[in-house]
Amino acid sequence: MNTSLKSTAQLGLALVLALSAGILVYQWLRTAASPGQAQVQQTAQLVVAARNIPAGTRLEPAMLRTVDYPASLLPEQRYASAQELAGRMLATGVSANEPITPSRLTGEAGAGGISAVITPGKRAMAVRGNKVMGLAGFIRPGNMVDVLVTLALDENSKRNTTKVVLENIPVLATGTQMTTDKEESPSQVDIYTLELTPEESEKLALASTQGTLHFALRNASDTEIVLTDGADAKSAMASYRTRRVAQAPGGTGITVELINGAQRTKVSF
> Does 67 share its domain with 152?
no
**DSSP letter (8 states) at residue 139:** -
> Can you name the residues that pair with 44 across neighbouring β-strands?
69
Q: How many CB atoms lie within 10 A of CB 225?
A: 8
Distance CA 156, CA 88 (A): 55
Q: Is 93 inside a domain boundary?
A: yes
- Identify residue 199 by its one-letter amino acid code: E
Compute the 3-state secondary structure of the chain and give helix, strand, coil in percent, each to the nearest 5.
30, 30, 40
Domain boundary (115, 134, 159) is at: 115
Report pLDDT for 105. 83
> Does 144 share its domain with 184?
yes
Secondary structure tally for the chain: helices H, strands E: 3, 10
Q: Is 266 inside a domain boundary?
A: no
The CATH number of whichever domain residue 83 belongs to comes to 3.90.1210.10
What residues make up the domain containing 166?
122-237
Report pLDDT for 122. 92
Contact 98, 46 (CB under 8 A): no
Q: Is 145 inside a domain boundary?
A: yes
Residue 121: which region, alpha, beta or left (left: phi > 0; alpha: psi -120 to 50)? left
> Does 68 share its domain with 145?
no
Q: Is 7 inside a domain boundary?
A: no
> Does 163 share its domain with 213?
yes
> Does 70 share its domain with 144?
no
> Does 62 share its domain with 90?
yes
> Does 233 share its domain with 130?
yes
**pLDDT tens for the chain, residues 1 to 269:** 566 666 677 777 777 777 777 777 777 777 666 555 544 458 888 899 999 988 878 888 899 999 988 888 888 888 888 888 888 888 778 888 999 988 888 765 455 567 777 888 999 999 998 878 888 888 888 899 999 999 988 777 778 899 999 999 999 888 877 766 555 667 778 899 999 999 999 999 999 999 999 999 999 899 999 999 898 888 888 888 776 655 556 555 677 676 776 677 776 76
> Does 108 share its domain with 193?
no
Report pLDDT for 69. 85
Distance CA 195, CA 189 (A): 18
Q: Is 155 inside a domain boundary?
A: yes
> Does 214 share its domain with 155?
yes
Q: Is 53 inside a domain boundary?
A: yes
Buried b (16+ CB within 10 A) or exposed e, 80-116: eebeebeebbbbebbeeeebbeeebbbeeeeeeebeb
Q: Is 154 inside a domain boundary?
A: yes
> Does 111 share its domain with 157?
no
Q: How many CB atoms lie within 10 A of CB 216?
A: 13
Domain boundary (69, 96, 115) is at: 115
> Does 97 share its domain with 184?
no
> Does 173 share its domain with 214?
yes
Domain count, the chain: 2
Q: Is 250 inside a domain boundary?
A: no
Report pLDDT for 269. 65
